[in-house]
Chain A
Amino acid sequence: MRNPLSDKVVAIKPSGIRKFFDIASEMKDVISLGVGEPDFDTPWHVRDEGIYSLEKGRTFYTSNSGLKELREEISRYLGRRYQLQYDPIHEILVTVGGSEGIDLALRAMLNPGDEVLIPEPCYVSYLPCVVLADGVPVTIELKEENEFRLTKEELLEKITDKTKILVLPFPNNPTGAVLRREDLEAIAEVVIEKDLFVLSDEIYSELTYGEDHVSIASLPGMWERTLTINGFSKSYAMTGWRLGYICGPQEIVAQMTKIHQFAIMCAPTTAQYAAVEALKNGDGDVAMMREAYNQRRRFLMHEFERMGLKCFEPFGAFYVFPSIKEFGLSSDEFAMRLLEEEHVAVVPGTAFGECGEGFLRISYAYSIEALKAALARIERFIERLRAQG
Chain B
Amino acid sequence: MREQILTFLEKNSKIDLQELAIMLGSSETVIANEVAKMEEEKVICGYHTLIDWEKTSSEKITALIEVRVTPQRGQGFDSIAERIYNYPEVQSLYLISGAYDLLVILQGKTLREVSSFVSDKLSTLDSVLSTATHFILKKYKDYGTILGKQTKDERMLVTP
**A and B, one complex?**
yes
Grouping DSSP codes into helix (H, G, I), strand (E, B) and loop, the A interface class, with mixed when no group exceeds half, is mixed
B155 interface residue per 8 A CB criterion: yes
In the complex, are the beta carbons of B155 and A298 less than 8 A apart? Answer: no
What's the nearest-Cβ distance from chain A to residue B12, in Å? 10
B23 touches A351 (CB 8 A): no
Residue numbers in B under 8 Å from A173 (CB-CB): 160
Across-interface contacts of A347 in B (CB, < 8 A): 158, 160
Interface flag for B24 (CB, 8 Å): yes
Q: How far is the CB of B145 from chain A (nearest CB, A)?
A: 15
Q: Does A265 contact B (CB under 8 A)?
A: no
Residues from 360 to 376 in A contacting B, C-beta threshold 8 Å: 368, 370
Q: Do A24 and B160 form a contact, CB below 8 Å, given A298-B25, A299-B22, A368-B23?
A: no
Contact (Cβ within 8 A) B23 A39: no
* Per-residue contact bits, chain B 134-160, to A (CB 8 Å; 1 contact, 0 not): 000000000000000000010111111
Contact yes or no, A345 B158, CB < 8 A: yes
Q: Please state if A32 and B23 are interface contacts (CB–CB under 8 Å).
A: no
CB-CB under 8 A from B157, the residues of chain A are 20-21, 24-25, 30, 32, 34-35, 345
Across the interface, B153 reaches (CB within 8 A) one of A20, A36, A39, A295, namely A39
B39 at the interface (CB under 8 A from A): no
Q: Tell me the complex Cα distance, A267–B106, Å.
A: 53
Minimum CB–CB distance from A194 to chain B (whole Å) comes to 30
Chain B positions 58-96 with a Cβ under 8 Å from a chain A Cβ: none
Residue from B22, B158, B159, B160 within 8 A of A298 (CB atoms): B22
A296 B23 Cβ-Cβ under 8 A: yes
In the bound complex, what is the Cα–Cα distance between A124 and B155 (angstroms)? 19
Is B19 in contact with A17, judged by CB distance below 8 angstroms? no
* Interface-centre pick from B23, B24, B25, B153 (highest chain A CB count, 10 A): B23
The docked-state distance in angstroms from the alpha carbon of A37 to that of B158 is 10
Partner of A39, one of B19, B155, B156: B155
Within the complex, the shortest CB–CB distance from B50 to chain A, in Å, comes to 17
| Least distance between B135 CB and chain A CB atoms (Å) | 28
Q: Is A261 an interface residue (CB 8 A)?
A: no
Asked whether A36 lies within 8 Å of B160 as measured between CB atoms, the reply is: yes
User: Which of B22, B157, B158 has the largest number of chain A CB atoms within 10 A?
Assistant: B158
Instruction: Report whether B155 and A123 are in contact in the complex, using a CB–CB cutoff of 8 Å.
Output: no
Chain B residues positioned under 8 Å from A36 (CB to CB)? 159-160
A299 adjacent to B160 (CB under 8 Å): no
Residues 113-166 of A at the B interface (beta carbon under 8 Å): 123-125
By the criterion CB–CB under 8 Å, are B23 and A298 in contact?
yes
Q: Establish whether residues B160 and A123, one from each chain, have CB atoms under 8 Å apart when the complex forms.
A: yes
- Inter-chain contacts of B23 with A (CB < 8 A): 295-296, 298-299, 368
Please provide the 5 A-B residue pairs with the shortest distance between their CB atoms, ordered closest to farther.
A295-B23, A34-B158, A21-B158, A32-B157, A24-B157
Q: Could you write out 13 A-B pairs with CB less than 8 Å apart?
A: A21-B156, A21-B159, A30-B157, A34-B158, A35-B159, A37-B155, A37-B159, A124-B160, A125-B160, A295-B23, A298-B24, A299-B19, A299-B22
